[in-house]
Structure 1
Amino acid sequence: MIPESSAAAARTAVLARIRQGLAQPAPQPPRPDFGAPVHPPLPADLAVAFAESFVRVGGVFFYCASEAHFIAQLSAYLKEQQIGRLFAWEAALQRVLYTGHVTFVADETEFLPHADASLTTCEALVARTGSLLVAPATASGRRLSVYPDQHLVLARTGQVVAEIGDALRGLQARYGASLPSMTSLTTGPSRTADIEKTLVLGAHGPRRLVLFLLDDAPDVGAPDAAA
């Protein structure tokens, strides 16, 4: 049993420490600089930054130095993946594929039962997140970027922007008051881990997202007139 005098001394010591602590205000955390950028600066070469971010989120990336290089890499990829039907509904893309002797389906023939892969353009590429800004304002509509097992995209280096806000401002500048009925940011292939924390690809969209980045060719891959 602790003597009463010892217990009283212990209480006195504890209370003294408490009073001492209360007399000295707790140090405050440094005041944040609300004017500072949230993210670190991106490299000067946004195309490289985009490619790194895109691959990091699970995308398959191909750099194309020319249109002929694009055709060669696309043909090799289609053969490697054993893709039987490639759906391409945009006129600009169809011209490129036709010139390169790449077989494609230009309409909806057997689209639902055989949507192996699609080839579309996009509105912008976001370097920060590796995302594609997709809108249905082309002949591809909404389905070609969502329904097929593999979504292939042809884009240009000039479409790469730093941040999501830059992509949205570019979209607004392009369409003005006639914005597309829907826009979406696609970041990597569709995935979910809702069931027992097991990652499943292709749950809500394409199982694989493939980007062919063509070094600036102004007449290739430009989306058709808004629908």
Structure 2
Amino acid sequence: MSLFKRLLNPKKHKSDEKAKQSDTSKYYPEEKLPIDEKFTYNFNKNGGKFLYCESMDEILEAFDNILIENDWYERDVFCVDKNLASRFDGFNLNFTQKGNTTFFLTTCESLVAKNGSILLSSNQIKEKKLSELPFNFVVFATTSQLVDTISEGLRIIKNRNTKQIPTNITTIQDFETDKEKDFMSYGSSTKNLYLLLLEDL
């Protein structure tokens, strides 16, 4: 802008300066949140239900509260992990891999902070698609499974499984059951998801 125009229109000049400052400020480096805070924020934004626990006793108590809240006692539960089924034994649940089940009890590969998603593989879901699994999920995970990005989670899967990399690797990040779908969420499978997170660090 020429000096002449600036003198004639000082208000416009000031507003231009403010706009320029606001433009440059958005290019400053973003304040980096700790990985756990970032995951919690994004996971909650996606509509997930988050239960942080410091001990296995707290995990079992939180699990009991989930069963009470949803009236899930004495129901069929989809679970492929025998160790996990034995860990949550004693709640009058029938753990199975067949037929219609009330909810899916599972572990996960990683918790991805960048988008608040849960990384799963054939270790948890065999060769099933997310749409073939029950609508309700209860995921048991630990704080040591937090990663910043999906690629970091994939690298951990590769390093952990040197002989045979699991197949059917997928993420789930849509937990808002009443959210109106748009074209960006086409093909994604919405789940009602509870995360039981155990502090292990």
TM-score of the pair, normalised by structure 1: 0.64
CA drift at 1:190: 7.4
Q: CA deviation at 1:210?
A: 1.3
- 1:58 equivalenced with 2:58 (yes/no): no
2:138 alignment partner, SS class? strand
- Describe the superposition over 1:104-137 as per-residue Cα deviations: whole angstroms up to 9, x where unpaired: 22323xx433x11011000001111101110012
Change (3 A) 1:42 1:176: farther
The 3 A distance-change label for structure 1 pair 141 and 212 is same
Equivalent position of 2:38 in the other structure: 49
1:210 to 190, 194, 197: 194
Residue 168 of structure 1: which of 144, 154, 173 is its match? 154
* % same residue: 23
- Give the SS at the match of 1:158: helix
Q: TM-score, normalised by structure 2?
A: 0.72
Name the residue aligned to 1:141: 126
Which is worse superposed, 82-91 or 147-156?
A: 82-91
Moved more, 165-174 or 78-87: 78-87
* Whole-Å separation in 2 of the counterparts to 1:144 and 1:175: 21
Give the drift of 1:188: 2.5
**Higher percent of residues as helix:** 2
**Structure 1 residues 2-46: Cα deviation after superposition (integer angstroms, max 9, x where no partner):** xxxxxxxxxxxxxxxxxxxxxxxxxxxxxxxxxxx9x835323x2
**What's 1:116 paired with?**
102
Q: Which residue type is aligned with residue 86 of structure 2?
A: R
Could you tell me which residue of structure 2 aligns to residue 29 of structure 1? none
Give the secondary structure class of the aligned counterpart of 1:70.
Answer: helix
Distance of aligned partners of 1:90 and 1:58 in 2 relative to their CA distance in 1, 3 Å threshold: same
1:103 Cα deviation (Å)?
2.6
Which of the residues 107, 118, 124 maps onto 2:96? Answer: 107
Cα RMSD (Å): 3.0
8 Å contact 2:47–2:176 — kept in the other structure? no
Judge which range, 79-88 or 158-167, deviates more. Answer: 79-88
- Supply the distance in 2 between the matched residues of 1:129 and 1:123 (Cα, whole angstroms): 15
**1:91 alignment counterpart:** 82
Contact 2:77/2:96 (<8 A) preserved: no
Note the C-alpha offset of 1:165: 1.6
Whichever of the two has the greater Rg, that structure is: 1
- Measure how far apart 1:102 and its partner are: 2.0
Runs of 5+ consecutive residues of structure 2 not aligned to the other structure: 1-26
Q: Is the 1:64–1:212 contact (alpha carbons within 8 Å) kept by the matching residues of 2?
A: yes
Q: Which residue of 2 aligns with 1:178?
A: 164
SS at match of 1:61: strand
Structure 1 residues 173 and 123, CA, compared in 2 at 3 Å: closer, same or farther?
A: same
Q: Quick check: 2:174–2:188 contact (8 Å CA) kept in 1?
A: no
**Unaligned 5+ runs, structure 1:** 1-36, 218-227
Contact 1:87/1:104, CA 8 A, preserved across alignment: no
Secondary structure at 1:168's aligned position in 2?
Answer: helix
Q: Provide the rounded CA distance (Å) in 2 between the counterparts of 1:162 and 1:41.
A: 15
1:60 touches 1:210 (CA, 8 Å); kept in 2? yes
Deviates more, 1:180-189 or 1:203-212: 203-212
Matched with 1:28 is none
